Structure formats: structure tokens, C-alpha cells
Amino acid sequence: MTDSGGKNGAARFAERLGERVYAMVLDLGAIFTLFVQVLSWIVRPPSEFRNIVKQMEEVGVRSLPVVLVTAAFTGMVLALQSYSGFQRFGATSFVGSVVALSITRELGPVFAGLMVSGRVGASMAAELGTMKVTEQIDALVTLATNPVKYLVVPRVVAATIVLPILVVFADLLGILGGYFVSVYLLGANPYVYIAKTYQYLEFKDIYTGLIKASVFGMLIALISCHHGFVAQGGAEGVGRATTRAVVASSMIVLISDYFMTSFMF
């Protein structure tokens, strides 16, 4: 693997870094182009209603168990941790507030986003990647069907709609998990806990979380579809695309979360 040009390590490194950055810029451009295409195809007939429903089932209904379990345990561990912390100040009554605010504002959307990245992002990238390398996407084109409209639009729309719904469930389960641990394991007063849960919780906390989740859903679907679309080189290429899709969509969940949080709060 030594370069015949005799470049030194630093130059090679710089070159590789440049290639990586260039590839990232290309990806970014491609994803944005895909986004614009999705927007332009979304409104044109025929409507992809059945496809959207199918993807909603895939992204929403089938992700529900993993999201619920994650959210419940997140709420539980949050209660446990904040309890042991707040005990030192004698402020254990605030555990409910902390759990509710953390879950609705931050952890519900982010964990649901990460779970969906892992589960749905991977399956989208793998499915589209396989279709790509077996020419099924080309086949779609020859059958007078735009692949973006047929494949990407339903996934993006479904993920955008369904992720907030998943987060609503995650919020509920997270709060219930925190309640369960606080009341049954740590002996908190259930009425105080519930009162504190809702005292500082505003509707704004919930809907900003849902907006975040919507954006996460859209980004996850776009990125995963993009990586599926550009897959090449058979099964190995599909595997690579899947990995890239999961990594990229998980990262974008966390990165976009920061920016949205700083804009919205």
C-alpha cells in the first residue's frame, strides 16, 4: 500500500483528510438535493398514501417496543440518579420535575431518534442499497416510476409524522418509569411526585420535543435513503451503506438536537 510517489505520512494524511472532507461535502450536497427532490415530488400525484402507511407501520408501530423500553428505563435511571443527587440537598421532591423536563425536552426525542436511527435507518439503507445493487431502482425508472417519489417520499413523510408520535409514548413511559422508581422503590410521595411533575412542565416543553422529533425523523430518513441510493458493489457495499447510514443519522440526531435546542429555548 506504499505510495510510489514517495509522499511522506503527513501529506498522505492531509490528502486522505481532504478526500474525506470532500466526500462529506458531496454527501451533504446529495442529501440536500434529495431533500429538495422530496419536496418537489411530495405534492405531485399520484399520492403515495399506501406506501406512507406501510412505512408508518415500519417506522412507527414496529419501533414502538424498543422506544418504549428505552424510554421507561431512561426515566427510571433518571429518577434514581436525580434522587441520589437531590437527597444531598434535601430536595427529593424535585425528582418529578427533573424527570418530566428531561424526558420531554431532551431525552425522549433524542433516545427515540437514536433508536429509530439504529433500527429504521439501518433497514432503510439496507433495503434501498439492495434495490440499488440489484438494479431494482433502475427497474422502477423503466416502469415510469420516480424512485425518489416512490421510495424516499413515503419514508421521509412517514418518519416525520411518526417520530413525534413515538416521542409522545416515550414521554409517557419515561415519566411513568420515573414515577415507578420514585414511588415504589424510593418511597417518594406519589401526590407530591405527580404535582411536581406537572408543576414546571409546560406545553412548550412537550411540543418543542415533538418538533425536534419530527426533524430527527426527516433527517434520519433522508440520510438513510441517500446512503442506500449511493450503495454500490454488491452485498459488501450494502453493508457499508448501512453502517454509514446508522452512524451518520445518529450523529445528525445529536448535532441537530444541539442547534434546535439553542434556537428553540
Partner 1 sequence: MSREARVGIFVLLGLIVLTYFTFRVSKWGLIAEKGYRLTVDFDTASGLEPKSDVKMAGVPIGKVEEIQLVANRARLVLRIRPEIGIPIDSVGTIQTQGLLGEKYVEILPGKDVQRNLPAGGRVANTQSPTNLDDMVRKLSAIGDDVKKFTESLSDTFGTEEGKKALGDILRDVRATTATLRSVVTGNEQRFDRILANVDRLSADLSDMSSTNKEDVRVTIANLRAFSHTLKTETPGLVRKLEKMSEGMGGLDNTLAAAGNVMAKIDRGEGTLGKLVNDNTAHTALTDTLDGINRFVRKTDQLKAFIDYRLEWQERPSEFKHYVNLRLQPAADKYYSIGVVDDPRGKFSSSTSTVTVNGAPTTVTEEKFDDKLKISALIARRFSGFTVKGGVIESTGGLGLDYELLKDRLTIGADAYDFTRKDLPPHLKLYGNYDIVKNLFVTGGVDDVLATERNLRTLFLGFGIKFADEDIKTVLGAVPIRP
Partner 2 sequence: MIAIRGLSKRFGKNVVLDGLDLTVPKGKNTVVIGGSGTGKSVLIKCAVGLLRPEAGEILIDGQDILRMDERELVGVRRKFGMLFQGAALFDSMDVGDNVAFALRRLKMHPERHIREVVEEKLSMVGLRDIQRLMPAELSGGMKKRVGLARAIASEPDILLYDEPTTGLDPIMADVINDLIISLRESIGVTSITITHDMASAYKIADQIAMLYKGKIIEVGTPEQIRTTSNPVVAQFVQGRAHGPITDESEEFVRFVHR
- Interface with partner 1 by CB under 8 A: which residues? 53-54, 56-57, 60-61, 64, 89-91, 93-94, 161-162, 164-166, 168-169, 171-172, 198-203, 205-206, 210
Pairwise CA distance, residues 215 & 253, whole Å:
9
What's the closest the beta carbon of residue 124 comes to partner 1, in angstroms?
A: 17
Q: Does 46 bind partner 2 (CB under 8 A)?
A: yes
Q: Does 232 bind partner 2 (CB under 8 A)?
A: no
5 binds, among partner 2, partner 1, none (CB under 5 to 8 A by kind): none
What is the CA 105 to chain-centroid distance, rounded?
A: 15
List the one residue from 81, 93, 123, 146 that touches partner 2 (CB under 8 A). Answer: 146
CB 127, CB 230: distance < 8 Å: no
What's the closest the beta carbon of residue 161 comes to partner 1, in angstroms?
A: 8
CB 182, CB 82: distance < 8 Å: no
The residue type at 107: L
Cis peptide before 190 (omega within 30 of 0): no
Which region among 59-67, 128-136, 216-224, 238-246 touches partner 2 (by CB under 8 A)?
Answer: 128-136
165 binds, among partner 2, partner 1, none (CB under 5 to 8 A by kind): partner 1
Q: What are phi and psi of 53, to 5 degrees?
A: -60, -40
222 binds, among partner 2, partner 1, none (CB under 5 to 8 A by kind): none
What's the closest the beta carbon of residue 168 comes to partner 1, in angstroms?
A: 5
List the one residue from 135, 185, 200, 264 that touches partner 2 (CB under 8 A). Answer: 135
What's the closest the beta carbon of residue 112 comes to partner 1, in angstroms?
A: 12
146 binds, among partner 1, partner 2, none (CB under 5 to 8 A by kind): partner 2
